[in-house]
Structure 1
Amino acid sequence: MRRRFRRIRSPGNAAIAAVTVFALCSGMWLLSSGAGTHAPPQPSAAQAHTGRYDRGGARTAAPALPPSPPDRVRIPAIGVDAPLTGLGLTATGSLEVPPAGRKNLAGWYEAGTTPGETGTAIIAGHVDNADGPAVFYSLGALRKGSTIEVDRRDGGVAVFTVDAVEAYDAQVFPDAKVYGAATRPELRVITCGGGYSRTTGYQGNVVVYAHLTGSR
């Protein structure tokens, strides 16, 4: 099941807005294995935003980094350690996807903000493929305060702290909230989720909101 993207530009902060994420939201593994019993975890209400975007919480944002493409993402709390590939837009305006056969590969929107610079950077990956769980299968189990590290091509590491983890139905996906411009370095990590149906696949997306709290 293919989800379509549309592209918008914000001054000084290239971003995309989308209805949902990408192809392979059909739950190929769940369909082939009988579904239901292997559904990925979904975030609880306790992990949602409690205020207006939870701007900073108890941790202040770190100074922005200069632009540099990312090469790897690590999320220790859920065992993610994956290389990143650049994603562009297809001729129809939808976001390209990482190759489905490489289940431990994630992608980043390379026409947008690089992780660590001011703005909203986007990382996306599959929840599963035909062979089983993929790179972001456990994304819905991530909790506020968890750490996301992104290795950058300039040799540095951008360290983000998770502000919230939310699931959205495809029909009410909050484009502006997820993909809108930011005045500090922010990161969104996205996969399919939001419930599952054997007839239509995943009903929406899981979105992790994080902001830069350090670098090394």
Structure 2
Amino acid sequence: MTGSTTGRRGGLLASAATAVLLATGCAASDDGAPAAPSPPASASSTAAPSTAPPPRASTAPSTSPSPQPPVLDASTPVSLTIPAIGAESELLHLGLRENGSLEVPPEGPGAPASWYTDSPTPGERGPAVLLGHVNATGGGPGVFADLRALEPGDTVEVARADGSTAVFAVERGEQYGKDAFPTLEVYGNTEGSELRLITCDGYDPATGEFDDNYVVYASLVR
């Protein structure tokens, strides 16, 4: 099936351009354990959607059209499964606060992951954004505690409201400092359907805060 560009996609790009979207941060809980992500840091107000470089000129005419990356029609996500790390979660649908900062998933044991509602639905063209805690309030693992264990080829399965399941294959994971977060690489346009899993990383016991974010990049395979 072929998805179309939606207002949701435009909202994501507009958010990045107007400095309301970046990555989630984390702070420590009262007992010193790492806690839930805080609202996102501001992106540059000059940010704009990235564009792909023009293709190289071919020395011979192509005999067949290039295959197009798979995309699905829009359908809101319901739940998430990552078999390689045993992670399962219902998906909340979170947007922006009145001050333009990103809402964050609720804290506590078993806190579910969340889909950012101004990103494409998982399976549509573009990068769908899912956020989750690396730890639970008061200690213990969060839903995205083991993202670092994912390897290229591992699958991420997103059940959707239309009864379908969008299956993504992990390509890579990257750790970024909050002051060097690559907004366009994470949120910019993509030719096919992609997925971003974002959590906190780089816990500093001296400050009780996470200094970094960890992002998993994945692409739709079916």
Which category describes the TM-score, using the shorter chain as reference length? 0.7 to 0.9
**Residue aligning to 2:24:** 21
Normalising by structure 1, report the TM-score. 0.75
RMSD, aligned CA: 2.5
For 2:110 and 2:206, locate their aligned partners in 1 and report how far apart those are by CA, in whole Å. Answer: 21
Is 1:90 the counterpart of 2:97? The answer is yes
Please tell me whether Structure 1 or Structure 2 has the larger radius of gyration of its CA atoms.
2
Match of 1:141 among 149, 153, 175: 149
The corresponding residue for 1:207 is: 215
Unaligned runs of 5+ in 2: 1-5, 35-51, 53-66
How far has the Cα of 1:11 moved from its partner? 9.4
SS at match of 2:32: helix
| Aligned mate of 2:195, from 182, 187, 190 | 187
Aligned length: 179
Q: Distance in 1 between matches of 2:30 and 2:196?
A: 25
Whether the aligned pair in 1 keeps the contact of 2:105 and 2:111 (CA below 8 Å) is no
Q: Does 1:165 align with 2:173?
A: yes
Q: Is the 8 A contact 1:14 1:113 kept in 2?
A: no
Q: Do 1:13 and 1:182's aligned partners in 2 also have CA atoms closer than 8 Å?
A: no
Partners of 2:161 and 2:180 in 1: how far apart?
A: 36
Q: For 1:156-209, what per-residue CA distance to the aligned partner results, in whole angstroms no more than 9, with x for missing partners?
A: 000000111010011101001011111210000000013434315111100000
Instruction: Identify unmatched segments of 5+ residues in structure 1.
Output: 1-8, 34-51, 53-59
Answer yes or no: is the 8 Å Cα contact 1:115–1:185 preserved in 2: yes
Q: Which has the higher strand share?
A: 1
Q: The residue matched to 2:92 in structure 1 has which SS? A: strand
Shift of 1:134: 0.9
In 2 relative to 1, CA 134–162 (structure 1 residues): closer, same or farther, beyond 3 Å?
Answer: same
Percent identity for Structure 1 against Structure 2: 41
